[in-house]
C-alpha cells in the first residue's frame, strides 16, 4: 500500500492534480444541478396536483349533501336515494383526506430534499386524485338529481323575479294611466315582494314543498298583476272617456230628435242614460281596488247598450223622416185613386151600355171593398201620425203597408181605366176623324170654287158624292147602339183613304190649272212679235177651257221654252209657278 502511494506520488504531477480537481468539481456541480432540476420538476408537479386537489375539493359536495339530507327529512321519497349516496360521499371525503395527507408528506420530503421518496408519494397522490375526482363527479351528479327540485324552483323564481321587475318598470313609466288604482297596485307589489322573501326563507330551510306552494302563489299574483296593469289603462279610458262621451252624444241626439217631433218616450232614453252613468261610477270604484274582469264585462255591456240605444233613436228618426217625406204624396195618391175609381164606375156604365162590355159587377164590388180598406188604413195612418203617441217605427209599418196597398190597387185601377178607355177610344177617334174628313171635303169644294176652273170632270163630282156617302156610313154606325167597333173601324178607314186621295187629286188639279194660267200670261208678252207663239198659246187656251189642264200646261211650257230654254225644269224642281214671272 505504501509502495502504491509512493508510486502514485511519483507519477502525479501538479498539472495532473489540477485536472483531477477540476473534474471532481464538475461532477459535483453537475450533480447539484441535476438534483435542483429534479426538485423543481417535482415541485411543479406537486403544485399541479395541489391545484387538482383543490378543484376536486371545491366541488360543493358537503353543501349539496347537507341540503339533500335536509330535503330527505321532509320528503320520504328522497330518503332512500340519500342513504344510497351516503357511502360514496363518505368515501370521497376520506379519499380527499388521504390525498391531503399525501400532499403534505410529499411537500415535507421535498423540503428535506428526499426527492425519490417525494416522487413516490406524488405518484400515489396522482392515482388517488384520479379515483377521488371520478367518485366526486359521480356523487355530484347524484346529488344534483336529488336537488333538481331546488334548481328548478330557483330557475322558476328567477324568471318570476325578472317578470316582476318588468311589471314594476312598466307601472313606474305609466303611472298616470292608472289613475286611482296606483295605491292598490303599490300595495299589491309590496305583498308580492314579501312573498318573495318568504320563498327564500322556505328555501333556506330546505322546505321545498312549502317553497313550491309559495312559488305558485307568487306566479299567480304576478300573472294577475300583469293582466291588471295591461287592462287598467284601457278600462279607465273606456270608463272615463269613451262611454261618457257616448252618453253625451246620445243625450244630444235624443234632444235633437225629440225636438223634431219624433216620439221617443217608449225608449226611456234619459232613464237608461242615468242608469249607465251610475254603473260607470260603480265600475270606476271597482277599478280602484283592481277588479278588472267584472268591470270589463260591465263596460262592454254598457257599450252595447248605448249602441243599441243610439240605433233605436236613429231608427225612430229615420222612420219619422220617411213618413214625413212621403205622407203628403201618399195621401194625394190615395185621393187620386178614389177619384179615378169613381171615374171608372161612371165610365163603365156608359161603356157597358154603349159597347155591350163584359160584366164587371163582381170585379167592381171587390175593388170597392179594397178601396174602402185602403181609405180606412189611410185614416188610421193620418190619425196615428197626428196624435204622435206611438213609436214612429210602429207607425212606419202601417205607413209602408198603405204605400204598398195604394201602389198595387192603383195599378189595378189604371188597368181597368185603360181597358175602359180603349173601348171608348175607337168611338172618340172616329168622331174626330169625321170632323176632319168633312172639313177636307169642304176645303176641296172651296178650292175648286175659288179658282173657277172652266171645266171639271163628272168623275170629280161623283168622287165628292162618294166621299159624302162614306162619311154618312160612318155616322150611321156611330148612331147605332151597341156600337159595332169592328165595322166602325173598317168604314172609317175606307172613308179616310178615299177622302185623302180626293184631296190630293184636287190639290194637283188646282196646282196645274194655276201653272197653266201663269204660263199663258207669261207667253202673252211674246204674242204680238211671234205668230207661232200666238198660235200655240191659243191651242193651250182651248185645251184649258175644255178641261184638258195637263195638255194645256204641256203646250204652254213648250211654247215659252222656245224663248227661255230650261224654264220647264226649273218649274218642276221648285214646283212654284211664280218662277216664270222672274224670267226676262
Task: Based on DSSP, count helices (H) and strands (E) in the chain, helices before strands.
Answer: 18, 0
How far is CA 238 from each of CA 166, 278, 327, 496, rounded to the nearest angstrom? 25, 15, 42, 87
CB 537 within 8 A of CB 527: yes
CB 381 within 8 A of CB 334: no
Segments making up each domain of the chain, as ranges = 15-149, 325-419, 451-582
Strand, coil or helix: 391: coil
Instruction: Annotate 515-578 with DSSP letters as a single string.
Output: HHHHHHHHHGGGTTT-HHHHHHHHHHHHHHHTT-HHHHHHHHHHHHHTTSTTHHHHHHHH--GG
**CA 444, CA 503: separation in Å to the nearest integer?**
6
Cis peptide before 482 (omega within 30 of 0): yes
Computed on alpha carbons and rounded to an integer, the radius of gyration of the chain in Å comes to 68
Dihedral of alpha carbons 69, 63, 143, 134, sign: negative
> Is 244 exposed, middle or buried (CB count within 10 Å of its CB: 0-12, 13-18, 19+)?
middle
HSE value, Cβ hemisphere, 13 Å, CA-based, for 461: 5
pLDDT at position 275, please? 92
**CA 407, CA 419: separation in Å to the nearest integer?**
18
How far is CA 237 from each of CA 231, 243, 280, 285, rounded to the nearest angstrom? 10, 9, 12, 14
CA 265 to chain centre: 35
Strand, coil or helix: 553: helix
Cβ neighbours around 516 below 10 Å, total: 25
pLDDT at position 308, please? 93
pLDDT at position 584, please? 46
How far is CA 527 from each of CA 384, 524, 535, 545, rounded to the nearest angstrom? 98, 5, 8, 19
pLDDT at position 248, please? 92
**CA 536, CA 523: separation in Å to the nearest integer?**
10
Cβ neighbours around 400 below 10 Å, total: 16
For the whole prediction, is pTM greater than 0.85? no
pLDDT at position 182, please? 86
CB 236 within 8 A of CB 291: no
How far is CA 475 from each of CA 275, 358, 432, 437, 501, rounded to the nearest angstrom? 86, 25, 12, 12, 20
What's the chain's length in residues?
Answer: 584
**CA 101, CA 124: separation in Å to the nearest integer?**
11
Weakly modelled stretches of the chain, pLDDT under 70: 1-17, 19-26, 28-42, 46, 61, 63-85, 89, 113, 115, 143-153, 206, 208, 351-358, 422-427, 448-459, 477-485, 528, 545, 547-549, 566-584
**pLDDT tens, residue by residue, 162-181:** 888 988 888 888 888 888 88
If we measure between CA atoms, which residue out of 291, 173, 175 comes closest to residue 227? 291
Cβ neighbours around 59 below 10 Å, total: 17
pLDDT at position 252, please? 92
Exposure class string for 284-317: b at 16+ Cβ within 10 A, else e: bebbeebbbeebbebbeebeebbeebbebbeebb
Cβ neighbours around 374 below 10 Å, total: 20
pLDDT at position 35, please? 58
Q: Is 320 left (phi over 0), alpha (psi -120 to 50) or beta?
A: alpha
**CA 208, CA 71: separation in Å to the nearest integer?**
7
- Let me know the angle formed at the C-alpha of 342 by 340 and 345, rounded to the nearest 5 degrees: 110
Exposure class string for 401-415: b at 16+ Cβ within 10 A, else e: ebbebbeebbebbee
pLDDT at position 150, please? 62
Amino acid at each position: 500500500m505504501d509502495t502504491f502511494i509512493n508510486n502514485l506520488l511519483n507519477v502525479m504531477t501538479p498539472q495532473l492534480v489540477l485536472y483531477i480537481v477540476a473534474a471532481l468539481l464538475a461532477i459535483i456541480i453537475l450533480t447539484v444541478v441535476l438534483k435542483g432540476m429534479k426538485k423543481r420538476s417535482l415541485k411543479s408537479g406537486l403544485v399541479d396536483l395541489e391545484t387538482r386537489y383543490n378543484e376536486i375539493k371545491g366541488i360543493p359536495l358537503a353543501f349539496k349533501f347537507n341540503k339533500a339530507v335536509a330535503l330527505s327529512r321532509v320528503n320520504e321519497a328522497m330518503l332512500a336515494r340519500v342513504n344510497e349516496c351516503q357511502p360514496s360521499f363518505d368515501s370521497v371525503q376520506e379519499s380527499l383526506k388521504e390525498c391531503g395527507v399525501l400532499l403534505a408528506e410529499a411537500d415535507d420530503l421535498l423540503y428535506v430534499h428526499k426527492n425519490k421518496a417525494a416522487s413516490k408519494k406524488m405518484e400515489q397522490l396522482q392515482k388517488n386524485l384520479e379515483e377521488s375526482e371520478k367518485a366526486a363527479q359521480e356523487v355530484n351528479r347524484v346529488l344534483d338529481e336529488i336537488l333538481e327540485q331546488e334548481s328548478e324552483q330557483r330557475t322558476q323564481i328567477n324568471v318570476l323575479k325578472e317578470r316582476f321587475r318588468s311589471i314594476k318598470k312598466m307601472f313606474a313609466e305609466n303611472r298616470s294611466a292608472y289613475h286611482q288604482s296606483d295605491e292598490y297596485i303599490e300595495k299589491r307589489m309590496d305583498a308580492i315582494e314579501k312573498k318573495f322573501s318568504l320563498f327564500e326563507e322556505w328555501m333556506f330551510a330546505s322546505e321545498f314543498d312549502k317553497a313550491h306552494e309559495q312559488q305558485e302563489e307568487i306566479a299567480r299574483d304576478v300573472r294577475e298583476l300583469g293582466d291588471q296593469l295591461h287592462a287598467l289603462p284601457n278600462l279607465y279610458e273606456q270608463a272615463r272617456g269613451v262611454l261618457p262621451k257616448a252618453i253625451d252624444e246620445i243625450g244630444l241626439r235624443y234632444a235633437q230628435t225629440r225636438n223634431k217631433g219624433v216620439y221617443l218616450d217608449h225608449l226611456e232614453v234619459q232613464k237608461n242614460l242615468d242608469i249607465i252613468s251610475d254603473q260607470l261610477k260603480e265600475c270606476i270604484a271597482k277599478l280602484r281596488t283592481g277588479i278588472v274582469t267584472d268591470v270589463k264585462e260591465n263596460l262592454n255591456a254598457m257599450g252595447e247598450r248605448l249602441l243599441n240605444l243610439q240605433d233605436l233613436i236613429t231608427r225612430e228618426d229615420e222612420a219619422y223622416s220617411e213618413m214625413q217625406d212621403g205622407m203628403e204624396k201618399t195621401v194625394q195618391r190615395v185621393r187620386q185613386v178614389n177619384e179615378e175609381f169613381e171615374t171608372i164606375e161612371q165610365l163603365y156604365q156608359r161603356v157597358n151600355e154603349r159597347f155591350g162590355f163584359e160584366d164587371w159587377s163582381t170585379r167592381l164590388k171587390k175593388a170597392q171593398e179594397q178601396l174602402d180598406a185602403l181609405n180606412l188604413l189611410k185614416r188610421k195612418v193620418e190619425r196615428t201620425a197626428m196624435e204622435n203617441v206611438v213609436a214612429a217605427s210602429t207607425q212606419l209599418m202601417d205607413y209602408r203597408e198603405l204605400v204598398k196597398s195604394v201602389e198595387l190597387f192603383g195599378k189595378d185601377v189604371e188597368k181597368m181605366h185603360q181597358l175602359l178607355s180603349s173601348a171608348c177610344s175607337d168611338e172618340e177617334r172616329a168622331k174626330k176623324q169625321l170632323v176632319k174628313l168633312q172639313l177636307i171635303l169642304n176645303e176641296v169644294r172651296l178650292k175648286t170654287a175659288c179658282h173657277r176652273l172652266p171645266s171639271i170632270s163628272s168623275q170629280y163630282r161623283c168622287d165628292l158624292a162618294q166621299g159624302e156617302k162614306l162619311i154618312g156610313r160612318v155616322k150611321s154606325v156611330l148612331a147605332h147602339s151597341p156600337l159595332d167597333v169592328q165595322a166602325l173601324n173598317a168604314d172609317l178607314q175606307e172613308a179616310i183613304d178615299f177622302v185623302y186621295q180626293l184631296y190630293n187629286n184636287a190639290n194637283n188639279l188646282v196646282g196645274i190649272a194655276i201653272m197653266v194660267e201663269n204660263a199663258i200670261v207669261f207667253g202673252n208678252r211674246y204674242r204680238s212679235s211671234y205668230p207661232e207663239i200666238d198660235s200655240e198659246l191659243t191651242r193651250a187656251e182651248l185645251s184649258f177651257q175644255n178641261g184638258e189642264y195637263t195638255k194645256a200646261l204641256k203646250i204652254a211650257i213648250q211654247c215659252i221654252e222656245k224663248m227661255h230654254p230650261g224654264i220647264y225644269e226649273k218649274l218642276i224642281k221648285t214646283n212654284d209657278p211664280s218662277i216664270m214671272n222672274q224670267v226676262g
